[in-house]
Amino acid sequence: MMSENSFSLGTIIGRSGIISSNGFRSVAIFAILFATLIMTVGFPDSPDQAVSDNRAFVAFLLLITTIYGAKVYLNYEKIVSTTDIFLIISLGLFLWELLFGKLSLLDSFIFPGPAKVFMVFQTDTKQMIEGIVSSLGILFAGYFLALALAIPIGLYAGWKKRLFDVTYPIAKTVSPIPATVYLPYSLVLLPTFRASSIFLIFIGAFWPILVGCVNGVFSVDSRLINSARTLDLSDYQMVRKILLPAALPSIFSGAMIGLILSFITLTVAEMIAATSGLGWYIQYYHQFANYDKVTAGMILMIAVVIGIMNIFDRIQKHFLRWHPTYGEGESSAASL
């Protein structure tokens, strides 16, 4: 009973210490967001700006405030990193509104304030949703096709020397070449832009995933392989039950690189030849010098990329929860 009480008391003291040490920064975050809100509502960017023009940005400020409060309440263990991130976000929003919205230090036509930019999310909601659907459809088609082919080929290439001698030198030679190099011929030879983009994303993601798989197989402890051989496993069983689980960290590393390259390839392709998508949205309105929509498109693209990378990170942590980097080891390191 004494140890339980001591543990409970220590836990309470620990929580109090963490919260109190970050109390000033938490107050600063709410104060900065509140000041930004007052500045947005009380001081219009121009005399003809209506209060309704600020609704989208005001809603975003309230959303950020709510998210921060919820994160602090639900996950106090990561209050330090959460507070630091939201402090940077709140300062960025405050300075953006002050310097570009109110003071107009730079040309407001090229560098619009946040109220104008967030108004675009209100007026172009349908077009933006269609752009997200179009971009993600192309992205996932090419990326998952690369995963489906690169992982089995990479596993067997790392396991079978003859296949390795053929595959790995090609992969090391071709993988540094940007996938967008093939864009002119893909547009000519493939029937639609969608097919061309899927092909480019497939090429861009395939080689990093393949190299990651091969390197992952090479990193498997030979003692583990020798022990598995005593069980008289077939090649398929060896790959599925031994090599694949052991090579997963390296496979996920290659898959992350492939995903990042897929984003880059998709954006470039959409800016050059698309008629829809997030990259097209930015490029299209750039041609008309509508920088309110250009900036809004950039923010939307950043938000989509961050969201997908967070999902990828959660999937990686789930499948690698046995690994010291992603399991208990990560929690221990984060708590220091």
The enclosing domain of 157 has a CATH number of 1.10.3720.10
User: Does the pLDDT of residue 22 top 70, yes or no?
Assistant: no
Q: Whole domain around residue 190: which residue ranges?
A: 124-332
Co-location of 254 and 303 in the same domain: yes
Q: At what angle do helices 291-319 and 114-123 cross, to 10 degrees?
A: 80
Cβ(130)–Cβ(276) under 8 Å?
yes
Cβ(33)–Cβ(97) under 8 Å?
no
At 53 the three-state DSSP class reads helix
| Number of domains into which the chain is organized | 2
Co-location of 174 and 290 in the same domain: yes
SS3 assignment for 34-72: HHHHHHHHHCCCCCCCCHHHHHHHHHHHHHHHHHHHHHH
Look at the chain and count its residues.
Answer: 336
Encode pLDDT of 36-72 as tens digits: 888 887 776 666 665 566 888 888 989 998 988 888 7
At 307 the three-state DSSP class reads helix
Co-location of 34 and 159 in the same domain: no
Among residues of the chain, what percentage have pLDDT more than 90? 40
**Mean pLDDT comparison of 13-22, 167-176, 201-210, highest-scoring range:** 201-210
**Any domain includes 12:** no
Of the residues 49, 68, 102, the one at which a domain ends? 102
124-136 mean pLDDT: 94
Task: Output the pLDDT for position 238.
Answer: 82
Q: Given the structure tokens 């040309």, which residue do they identify?
A: 107
Co-location of 155 and 246 in the same domain: yes
Q: Where are the alpha helices (DSSP H) in 76-192?
A: 79-95, 114-123, 125-159, 161-174, 183-189
pTM: 0.82
